[in-house]
Chain A
């Protein structure tokens, strides 16, 4: 059994960094804990659910996907090398690791996205099993678990009352990470702490079934009224991947940027003609729920939500995907009882 002291997470990070990895971990950043690159001295907080998701590493908020040089009216596209440093996602959440199955699918379902794939291949995913939970967690409602190994290359299990971590390598990448950690992770003995008890808040299958024939329903107006359209939920979401492509240029050179976008924004689907298929916030909220619990299941036989609860923790209007799903579940029960 491979173990290390819970207080020595920084030592592991330092060893991995010395071995050539970029280490991304939950790090104290002002008043919040954020997944970001670890540097010596940074405080790793595996006990706090970071505000952002691990998606940020694989699909950064903004990246250059095209570059052009200009010469008068002529232009020449330049190659854009993909920056894909070898990275360990250390002590991310099992719901972050589980989200990668969907990202992998979207970026490869027939056309392959090299920017994503290069980073994905260079990334070793090492979640920490959750031994505590908060009111917004709902992984168990969407097929996950606080100690799920889905998408993980290795998993850290808190042990001996939170004083140690047991490291279980799962894939070759996980084994390589373990080897790179050297003496900071050693043979030892410890008893894994029980995973957090995350209550099941709704029946996801019932939600998917209800959505199939409730595109038109009063519930959408009720739900949509609260939404400010700020996009925070989509930015914090570990599976949301929608992006915009925008050009910026000077007279000498230009870049084409891929930026995060959000289905919550009014311009997201706006046509050049002025027509907008999803002109109302309620239609946009419906699309968000439908996409995660109906469209993605139809297309890819998986859910588009891993129950991390970040959307609800951030929402300025107090909206919650789990709460909407619970409402839908309740609606479907009422309908069944009739």
Chain B
């Protein structure tokens, strides 16, 4: 199996409580879709902000929590080029996400991170980037997209294909509108058949089919795929057919996690720990994993 896309940096080793979170203030909040919310979080002090951004690269994740409810794992959805805050986007599903959702602007939540490895975007300079996302899985790619757009001149063509079940389920609607306006971004949005509204201007169809239609070129390109397992399953053969090598196709895995730092023992896929060896993997790595453990 090839090495990690980019190894996680060696952790600093100060003595202290590994599990003690930062208290982050909610600077603003946005409803993205039914039950999907984005929180913009500010660091409690300059030292913790600087420490975070010294380490943070796109693809890393954190544990967001509400004391009394618990912690949940999501990606950091904002890029390291925007250094005043971080953002997370989540869907209300269980006890912790319900508690996170109930927090209001001006109140606080807890955060631990960043943890895990990252997309090796420094090795992608000059290359064309193809982003393929479905539903609530745009947030992990949104940090990469924002980072690339903040450093637009360093990268080649940018293609974004994003689909959701219905128009209402599309997240980051404001940003989608911005990306659509840009001449240097090729944005294709789609909704599942039946999920369209009368004034929907995007495509109607499942992501793999729309991907085949859009047919982004594989030359000098890197593909990033993130979505529900079924979308990934049917998108990978399309990417292969289009000529994208597995080693240049990336995804990010999410497994149930408690510690985030390689100790609690549940996020492994075979011998790989999603929290340490991932969450970013190439499709080549993915194919080397025991498929029955995914």
Contact = CB atoms under 8 A, between A and B. Distances in A.
Nearest to B109: A75
A283 B292 contact: yes
A205 B261 CA distance: 29
B68 A107 contact: no
B71 A245 contact: yes
Interface string B50-69: 00000000000000010111
Contacts of A258: 19
Given A73-B107, A272-B94, A263 B17 contact: no
Contacts, number: 140
Contacts of A114: 15-18
A51 to B, nearest CB: 22
Contacts of B11: 110-112
A75 B25 CA distance: 11
Contacts of A273: 93, 228
A243 B17 contact: no
A111 B18 contact: yes
B290 A215 contact: yes
Contact of B256 (A66, A76, A269): A269
B21 A77 contact: yes
A243 B258 CA distance: 8
A290 B239 CA distance: 33
Interface string A223-247: 0000000000000000001111111
Nearest to B269: A277
Interface string B200-233: 0000000000000000000000000000110000
A70 B271 contact: no
A112 B17 contact: no
A100 to B, nearest CB: 15
B199 to A, nearest CB: 30
A77 B71 contact: no
B268 A295 contact: yes
A113 interface: yes
B200 to A, nearest CB: 26
B67 A112 contact: no
Question: Which of B16, B68, B267 has the most chain A CB atoms closer than 10 A to its own CB?
Answer: B68
A195 interface: no
Interface string A93-116: 000000000000011011111110
A216 interface: yes
Contacts of B2: none
Contact of A277 (B17, B72, B293): B293
Contacts of A270: 256
Contact of A249 (B68, B265, B271, B292): B68
Contact of B67 (A75, A283, A294, A298): A75
Nearest to B9: A110
A240 B15 CA distance: 24
A256 interface: yes
B70 interface: yes
Contacts of A334: none
A65 B104 CA distance: 26
Interface string B178-205: 0000000000000000000000000000
Interface of A: 65-66, 68, 70, 73-77, 79-80, 106-107, 109-115, 215-216, 241-249, 254, 256, 258, 261, 263, 268-273, 275, 277-278, 283, 287, 290-291, 294-295, 298-299
17 contacts: A66-B21, A77-B21, A77-B110, A111-B263, A113-B263, A114-B17, A241-B263, A242-B264, A245-B70, A247-B69, A261-B266, A268-B256, A269-B267, A278-B293, A290-B270, A290-B271, A294-B271
| Top 9 A-B residue pairs of the complex, sorted by shortest distance between their CB atoms | A249-B68, A242-B265, A68-B67, A295-B271, A215-B290, A111-B261, A254-B68, A272-B93, A247-B70
Given A111-B262, A261-B258, 7 more contacts: A110-B10, A110-B11, A245-B19, A270-B256, A275-B229, A278-B293, A287-B293
